[in-house]
Structure 1
């Protein structure tokens, strides 16, 4: 199987060693990888993997609550699912709140879904397998005693400008160019997911719901 790996580093305490061990347990190869909320100081040990694998990174959104799923992760998952038929499996590390509509969508699209995290989730549907990200005792001890080196800066190649000049559309973060029909499907699926997300969200007194304007802002930014 060809996996797309979408990992929110705000949703796990696992270091890169634990992440690499989880990848070895996947029944297939990694065709695409992206890290969300990547902080060079906190996640300095991921730097080597990012450079060697060519993984994409997205900086933290400081106005996002950690318990809520990163909307960029949702957009990328739907974009890859709808436009890249070579990807038949997803390894998702995400925040526990609001993620069930996305998992259900990927399963409904016929994708094999592996969920990763520090502990098993309370829900049991929407994914085919779960991988616990475990830090070894040696890694825990080393993290406490070792002073992290200053991470090397990562340059992000921006390809949106030449694609705009050619008239092609560029799906956010994925590096996949798609035609008009593919973009229409992505937008339709995202709208459907947002409706399901709103219906499954907790009551306002428990936690404030994201405003409708946020979805419109994301659509304008990415599409």
Structure 2
């Protein structure tokens, strides 16, 4: 089991001056709770963690929002909450936390989260495009694939073609995403080329591209 050394230790020394006289302010015990809607994520994904500081007396933070900027304006009654993103780096079970916060001279510690990081199965993306063209010609490149999760499809800047227009679509059915993209490009260089993963921007490692060879005259 992996322990996330980041620990997301949040030590915020909040010097609050909401009390009229020193040491006359009474604050009941608070509870710092960490939660997430995900107990399993794919490798490379970020985990959204909800932190809730519960049981805060309303007068404590009155007109002192700048001193609790970490929680911004997310207030529900006497509870303050915020969200942070954490990216576990190791496969398998990861222990996230505990999170800590120091308030009015007292430290509060959250529970620990257990999250499993799994490696996604390889997914193939298909390319449809003309196999021949001439410099200056507009051609259409269509990208499609069935995926376990959504991600964006785009090209890096290159010296083979220029993007003229593009459209994207994503649908979800029975636990799978159908991702599609259509690009109208202008060919700008003569030669024989291969459209492969190297020409795409930031595709996940598990995505495989069936390369297409084409010629520009």
Normalization by structure 1: what TM-score?
Answer: 0.22
Structure whose alpha-carbon radius of gyration is higher: 2
Higher helix share: 1
State TM-score, norm by structure 2. Answer: 0.22
